[in-house]
Structure 1
């Protein structure tokens, strides 16, 4: 296959993980070439707004004080090349949240 100048791919894909309720975690996402790339996160199919508890940290998503009710997922990372508009969406990551 011939790659155009616009080819990038997920070098780190968000992974589902086990987490204890109330703890903090990072869901990682990265691409092969970050030039002109903007990252966004989706949660349950909607663009995730940053809050003091759940926020984007560089390309990753930080979640503080994980809540069983609010954070089970799915979370999806979207990487967009702002010069071309080309966008990639990751597979879904879910949190398996255990009670303390």
Structure 2
């Protein structure tokens, strides 16, 4: 399996780790999982990590994915607002009068 290099930039500090993934298509979802985990850890400590970023490079050094923590935070808040206000009718179902 190919190795991918994940560069996590938080508060101006870069942390690098390598992981084996079966394809480059899995790099972005894995980076999003890592961002969620970092945000969960940061929220318990009170740190604002919304300015952090994860970049993923393949073995040849090409950038294959970029995940901004601010996008992950925004996606979570949109999901929570949708969950708290569920639709009153089923989507796509037309009611006859």
TM-score clears 0.5: no
Per residue, is there more helix in 1 or in 2?
2
- TM class by shorter chain equals 0.3 to 0.5
TM-score by length of 2: 0.36
Larger Rg: 2
TM norm structure 1: 0.36
